[in-house]
Homo-oligomer: A and B are copies of this chain.
Amino acid sequence: MARTQGSRSETTRPLIMEAAKRLIARHGFAAVSMRQIAAETGKQVGALYSYIPDKQALLFELMRSHMMDLLQAASQLDLKTDPGTALESFTRFHIDFHLARPEDVFVAYMELRNLEPDNFKAITSLRHEYEDVLRGILIKGTNSGAFQLADVRVSTRAVIAMLTGVTTWYRDHGILDRDEVIAIYWRMVAGSVGYKPA
């Protein structure tokens, strides 16, 4: 019979990362101490260093795994449809994904400046990779005449900024449910790139 319980390290490490994420999202990386993270996981400070080399690596790993999840999920999008449908899929995907993990999003957007140079470059590169998904859609729609927009690069950033902004105000159990929010944003995104749904 196999072990009824895996090595402790397989469960403790995720626990530490979750606690760190929660605290950093709330108070900011610089304001959170290793002692707080330890207390939140029911351990003493020294124990953390069996799982993580230092505080900086902890932040980097949080942001890296969030970006990898995002890219992995985005790669499942079907973008072989017409550009309008692809843009609608992207809009729905971006809002759904970001609303489902508000703490990751907060950390990913607010703590870039606390990354050391090499880590900063790595995360920035993953962000560009994600932006390229949307840029590809906008380029295709511009070439086909489905979209009417003045500048693909600016539009890419503007649409992402608009969509990500939903995380700053949306709360579950509010007046609008998620599908209503997505419908409203989709109409705005479509208008902003000059797309007229059939």
- Give the docked Cα–Cα distance between A158 and B161 (Å): 8
Contact, CB under 8 Å: B193 / A188: yes
Known: A161-B168, A162-B162, A183-B150. A155 touches B28 (CB 8 A): no
Q: How far is the CA of A139 from the CA of B29 in the complex (A)?
A: 40
The 0/1 profile, CB within 8 Å of B marked 1, for residues 107-129 of chain A is 00010011000000000000000
| Total contacting residues, chain A, CB less than 8 A | 37
Total identical chains? 2
User: Judging by beta carbons under 8 Å apart, are A151 and B184 in contact?
Assistant: yes
Highest count of chain B CB atoms <10 Å: which of A31, A162, A169, A189: A162
Residue on B nearest A175 in the bound complex, by CB? B153
A56 at the interface (CB under 8 A from B): no
Q: How far, in Å, is A155 (CB) from chain B's closest CB?
A: 7
Answer whether residue A26 sits at the interface, using C-beta atoms and an 8 A cutoff. yes
Task: Flag whether A154 is at the interface (Cβ < 8 A).
Answer: yes
